[in-house]
């Protein structure tokens, strides 16, 4: 099966170009192929832009164990509708993904259910170091340095030291200091004010844990990725970090702040919490100057009934995967940054950080994971139109300019203007991970 995409502006590694792209057998067969080249299908993409499929390195698709919130089929469909062709999913499912056997069970679920490409982290516990030492078919190890599900909390220094010293795969972490959160909980006392969520999970909780984890990564020369940076104060830690430490920011920490609790309430309750407007601006600046390396979602859906519980009984998390690219395209149209920068942050750098093979770029021989975007299209986000199973978005009612319109996974069109091909399934993502002792930057 082959497809020729004609007349698009193509986001190549060296810059945008008006060339055709030929796709065959799941790969990019040729860029600017000869006029005589034939294909089974032709796509007239005049006025559109072709970019690599987005790689979201932080999602929670709730499978197995929480099917009323999301599962790998519904979550991956939402991803495809948003131009996301590869996701990396977190281990706090039920049961948690803390062994090679459970990891392979999730890979089997992905093979059966996911319409885009998939990968799964293995979770650290205080006791599973042998599993972490021998783990494979995974991008890396996830540590929760702060409240989490079941046995996934790792906040004792001795356990953290052992993981950084003995495991070899890259490590990523949720950085909020549990001791600081406990002290804040005692200070706040009884409350049903959701604004106290940001006082409970405050700047100090984030800074203490991020500083602690980066110090371990430096001491053990261990590739380490800081998830969902949420504060301006963490940026100085990142600027002083060694080259094997990378970081990301999520959409909610760029767009929402504590003042938004008044209109959105628990819909924007997240861990780490949203902070001040000044933190939003600092995070945008850090993304633009290269202090922060990439953009992810932390897509973590709950039902609206669950979110409507009064804080603190309400769960933390929001759905974002199907709107993340559109939110960034809207900012391109506003002149905040270029489309090439979006490709860097959402396609190329996730592939580099996690050693993802043959993805993240439009290059001959690479996997044909592609998204066609219309930078002029306007659409309003509506709860009832969301593909995610929970059918809501914190951006409900916002009109954005710039949307994905067609998505290909391994050369097969999985989604076009709201219509899915039910026969398409993604593939297991392959990794060549950095290892402990590697002193280089993944972007070198």
Domains in the chain: boundaries? 2-50+363-388+399-420, 53-353
pLDDT given at position 247: 98
Q: Which two tokens stand for residue 36?
A: 């005589």
Three-state helix/strand/coil letters over 24-54: ECCEEEEECCCCCCCCCEEEECCCCEEEECE
Q: Which CATH number fits domain 2-50+363-388+399-420: 2.30.40.10, 3.40.605.10, 3.40.50.2300, 3.40.710.10?
A: 2.30.40.10
CA atoms within 13 A on the CB side of 293: 25
Contacts with 125 (C-beta within 8 Å, 6 or more apart), sequence order:
96, 98, 151, 152, 154
Catalytic residues: 298
Please report the pLDDT score of residue 148 as a whole number.
Answer: 54
Peptide bond into 357 cis (omega under 30): no
d(CA 241, CA 254): 22
What's the longest Cα–Cα distance across the chain?
Answer: 73
Q: What is the pLDDT of residue 147?
A: 60
Q: Could you give the 3-state DSSP secondary structure of residue 443?
A: coil
Question: Per residue in 160-194, pLDDT tens?
Answer: 999 999 999 999 999 999 999 999 999 999 999 99
Mean pLDDT by 10 residues, the chain (444 residues): 96 97 98 89 97 98 98 98 98 97 98 98 97 98 77 87 97 96 96 98 98 97 98 98 98 98 98 98 98 98 98 98 98 98 98 98 98 98 98 98 98 98 98 95 94
Tens digits of per-residue pLDDT, 3-24?
999 999 999 999 999 999 999 9
> What predicted TM-score, i.e. pTM, was given to this entire model?
0.98
The encoded tokens of residue 306 equal 């669950």
The per-residue pLDDT for 38 is 86
Q: Which two tokens stand for residue 415?
A: 């989604």
- Alpha carbon distance 418, 424 (integer Å): 15
**CB–CB of 306/229 below 8 Å?**
no
Where would I find the H helices in 20-138? 72-81, 100-113, 129-134
Q: What is the pLDDT of residue 149?
A: 53
pLDDT at 37: 85
Report whether 64 contacts 24 (CB < 8 A): no
Adjacency order of strands within the sheet including 171-175: 122-123, 141-145, 171-175, 224-226, 245-250, 294-296
Q: How far is CA 232 from CA 237, 238, 279, in A?
A: 10, 10, 5
CATH of domain 53-353: 3.20.20.140
């Amino acid at each position: 099966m082959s497809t020729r995409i004609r007349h698009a502006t193509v986001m190549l590694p060296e810059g945008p170009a008006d060339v055709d792209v030929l796709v065959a057998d799941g790969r990019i067969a040729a860029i600017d192929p000869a006029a005589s080249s034939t294909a089974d299908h032709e796509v007239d993409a005049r006025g559109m832009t072709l970019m690599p499929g987005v790689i979201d390195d932080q999602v929670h698709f709730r499978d197995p164990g929480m099917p009323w919130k999301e599962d790998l089929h519904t979550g991956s469909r939402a991803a495809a509708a948003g131009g996301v062709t590869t996701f990396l999913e977190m281990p706090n499912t039920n049961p948690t993904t803390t062994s090679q056997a459970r990891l392979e069970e999730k890979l089997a679920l992905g093979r059966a259910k996911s319409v885009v490409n998939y990968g799964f982290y293995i979770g650290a516990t205080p006791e599973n170091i042998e599993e972490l030492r021998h783990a494979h078919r995974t991008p890396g190890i996830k540590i929760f340095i702060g409240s989490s599900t079941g046995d996934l909390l790792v906040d004792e220094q001795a356990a953290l030291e052992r993981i950084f010293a003995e495991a070899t795969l890259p490590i990523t972490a949720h950085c909020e200091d549990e001791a600081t959160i406990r002290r804040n909980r005692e200070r706040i006392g009884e409350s049903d004010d959701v604004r106290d969520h940001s006082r409970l999970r405050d700047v100090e909780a984030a800074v203490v844990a991020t500083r602690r984890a980066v110090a371990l990564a430096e001491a053990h020369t261990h590739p380490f990725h800081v998830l969902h940076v949420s504060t301006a104060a963490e940026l100085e830690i990142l600027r002083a970090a060694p080259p094997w430490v990378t970081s990301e920011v999520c959409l909610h920490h760029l767009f929402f702040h504590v003042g938004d609790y008044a209109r959105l309430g628990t819909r924007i309750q997240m861990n780490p919490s949203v902070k001040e407007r000044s933190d939003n601006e600092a995070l945008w600046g850090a993304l633009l100057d290269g202090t922060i390396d990439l953009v992810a979602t932390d897509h973590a859906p709950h039902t609206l009934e669950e979110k409507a519980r009064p804080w603190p009984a309400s769960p933390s998390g929001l759905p974002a995967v199907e709107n993340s690219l559109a939110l960034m395209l809207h900012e391109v149209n506003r002149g905040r940054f270029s489309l090439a920068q979006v490709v860097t942050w959402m396609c190329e750098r996730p592939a580099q950080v996690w050693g993802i093979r043959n993805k993240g770029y439009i290059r001959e021989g690479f996997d044909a994971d592609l998204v066609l975007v219309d930078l002029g299209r306007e659409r309003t986000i509506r709860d009832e139109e969301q593909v995610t199973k929970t059918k809501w978005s914190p951006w409900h009612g916002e009109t954005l300019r710039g949307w994905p319109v067609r998505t290909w996974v391994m050369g097969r069109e999985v989604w076009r203007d709201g219509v899915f091909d039910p026969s398409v399934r993604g593939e297991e993502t392959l990794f060549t991970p950095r290892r402990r002792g590697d002193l280089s930057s993944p972007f070198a």
